[in-house]
Amino acid sequence: MDARIKSGHDRSVDAEWMPMPADSAQLLPNAPEYTVSELSSDLKRTVEDAFGHVRVRGEISGFRGVHASGHCYFALKDDKAKIEAVIWRGSFGRMRFKPQEGLEVVATGKLTTYPGSSKYQIVIDALEPAGVGALMALMEERKKKLAAEGLFDEARKQLLPYLPEVIGVVTSPTGAVIRDILHRLEDRFPRHVVVWPVRVQGEGSAEQIAAAIDGFNALDEGGAIPKPDLLIVARGGGSLEDLWSFNEEIVVRAAAASMIPLISAVGHETDVTLIDYVADKRAPTPTAAAEMAVPVRAELFVEVGNLGRRAMLCWQREQERRRNDLRGLARALPSATEVLAIPRQRLDTATAALPRALTANTQAHHRRFARTAGGLTLNVLRAQVAQARQQTSACGARLAHGARVALRQHRTRADHAGQLLAALSYKSVLARGFALVRDEAGRALRGRTAIAPGMRLDLEFSDGRVRAVADGDPRAAPIQPAPKRRPKPPDQGDLF
């Protein structure tokens, strides 16, 4: 293999790779001298130039998941050799198939070297399973994993609505699938259809399908876009690689979390994807999904007509039965003539006896009136009036006498109370030469300890009030009463 090697003196030479003799150092005394870094750099450039784009088939080994930096490190191996591999973070995010331990893949990338450990490696830009067998193995592994989580349990599946008002369809807007669904719905029972256009294969298709399922579930009831009562996730037939988007975990988990009943219609009848296991109903084709979604309107009309005729027939039979029951009950009841015979006879008897009873009653009332009228003579009335007048005069005299006695008693009690009030009133005490001392608020002061120097006082005597101010501290010593003056003896004149 020919290659151009750059020396440490920036010289390029054409060389052919061949074994060198053991004493080559002596045979080539003028060979250029390299540093380790220069040699590693030249080898890296040579490998990258010679193997700028390669496809390598092998089994993934030593994969432990994505590194904290976002890069992936593992090895590709077969039964005889092994090569280190790396996937940078940017390339990993764009990959439809992610690396898994033990999966046989075809990796596309370029060879390079890692000077830090003097080894070569492949930098992978694209990764795909190596054939249908690898895809089936990967699908089976995912199926076991999701089944262990209970996502395929029948208890989680919902019943489809009998006649949905709005049907949401997740599919490609340009394929024949959506036309087949719309035509079949039009033939059977036209419904309002909301289409969420997505890519059904290729890079990013799985994310779009999952986002469409989640988006339909996130719609508000009564919003501008009506929320579907049923979802159909559909795609036409294709190879396992073409249908792989419906085997991705993100799609399967979105379908399992859907609160709206979901029909999967992916591929043909023989095509099976993981979304079929979590869907509430699997349809072999998109057309069959439309048939599952709605009944046939013409058949419904026929069935409604049959049910209407059966209901009318049942109603007629029930009415006839009630009519017969009523007739039987009517025959068992006595006639009106028999029921009213005795009351009519009693009425006739009472009618015949009524004139005699009225005459007898009138005569009895007349006799009672005559007896009462005989006792009401003029003299009797006059005697009763005189007696009433006498009784009235006696009652008036007794009432006047009683009033005078009561008035004298009340007057005596009032005089006694007045005398008692005058005897107990403080004004009688004032009249005997005492005074009532009050403060400025009008409260009576009962002792000298209640009076402070300079305190304004109100002194009430029997003939009026006087304002005063306390002088000195009355609490220091009691006030001595003024000595009594002896009366001056009368002038007896001068004896001399």
**Do residues 114 and 83 lie in contact, with contact meaning Cβ atoms separated by under 8 Å?**
no
State the pTM of this model: 0.46
Question: pLDDT value at position 490?
Answer: 58
Cα(275)–Cα(56) distance, rounded to whole angstroms? 31
Scanning the structure block, which residue is given the tokens 């026929």? 302
Parse the chain into domains and list their residue ranges.
Answer: 2-130, 155-295, 429-469
Q: How many CB atoms are closer than 10 A to CB 62?
A: 13
**Do residues 457 and 474 lie in contact, with contact meaning Cβ atoms separated by under 8 Å?**
no
Helices (H), 241-335: 249-257, 275-278, 286-293, 297-332
Q: How many CB atoms are closer than 10 A to CB 420?
A: 10
Positions of the chain with pLDDT lower than 50, given as ranges: 1-22, 24-25, 495-496
Q: Which CATH topology does 155-295 take?
A: Rossmann fold (3.40.50)
Q: Which CATH topology does 2-130 take?
A: OB fold (Dihydrolipoamide Acetyltransferase, E2P) (2.40.50)
Question: pLDDT value at position 6?
Answer: 37
| Angstrom distances, CA of residue 1 to CA of 17, 51, 114, 448 | 6, 12, 22, 138
Residue type present at position 160: L
Residue type present at position 315: W
Question: pLDDT value at position 212?
Answer: 95
